[in-house]
Amino acid sequence: MAIYRNYSPETLWSEMQETPLRYGIFVQCLNRSANESKWVIEQASKNPFIKGIVAGLDLEDLQIHREIDEIRLLSPLVKGVRHILDEEADDWICRDNVGHGLAVLQEKGLTYDLLVRPRHLKYIPDVIKKYPKLNFVVDHIAKPFIKDKVFDGWKEDMKNIAMYPNVFCKLSGLVTEADWCNWKTEDFKSYVDHILEIFSPERCMFGSDWPVCNLASSTLKQVFQLMQRLLSSCSEQDKQKIFRTNAVKFYNLDL
């Protein structure tokens, strides 16, 4: 299923009515784009279910502190920053300029979403240990090769990252790493179980990855139901943490 079309907050809100979900966070689609964040701030003023924004600011910009101050003056909804690493060198996050940007995020009390793939994971622990007061979250459980059932290398790398208490993990983006047309709940169980074991429910949070989940012929409702099945052995208290409380805590949301 192609997703090259316009998506609006109103479209998401309509899909949310088929689930118990009532709040959401916008996470950047474009790198180095303050304009995208400004557009989302405008949309959030008309769609109060948007409770937080993870912006695509330029971490390598030595003036990033000014950019953060400017955009937070527009809205207190800006809670963190993300950068998509797909088109960067594998060790991009180790660059000095990026380190300066992460230090600014730590200073200003923002968060950082790690949108990484397995090839990036070996670099992450050395970065995390430099910023003990910066909260990180690994998006999409680091995109393991679920379709090909690759587990071992990813398993060890994620365990090394989970050792740091300021790192959380997003249970999101699963279906697009599996067989788009024929995925089954069982495809994801070993991956999710491992994340729950090493991070514990205290540091896991649900993410829909909407509308990208549509690539795998999956609606928001289907992704939500998939996660409910994968968490069926968790207590109701732990499910509440994963679906709500941990995200509120991590992003400092005002609900």
For residue 3, the model assigns a pLDDT of 84
Residue 78 Ramachandran class (φ > 0 left, ψ -120 to 50 alpha, else beta): beta
What are the backbone angles phi and psi of residue 113, rounded to the nearest 5°? -90, 120
Identify the pLDDT of residue 40. 97
Mark 104-114 as b/e (b = at least 16 C-beta within 10 Å). bbbeeebbbbb
Which parts of the chain register pLDDT below 50? none
Cα angle 131-134-139, degrees, rounded to a multiple of 5: 110
Q: What is the CATH number of domain 9-251?
A: 3.20.20.140
Would you say how long the chain is, in residues? 255
> For the whole model, what pTM was predicted?
0.96
Position 1 scores a pLDDT of 54
Q: Strand 204-206's sheet: what is its strand order?
A: 24-27, 50-55, 78-84, 111-115, 135-138, 167-171, 204-206
> pLDDT tens digits, residue range 131-186?
999 999 999 999 999 999 999 999 999 999 999 999 999 999 999 999 999 999 99
Q: Are 104 and 68 in contact (CB under 8 A)?
A: yes
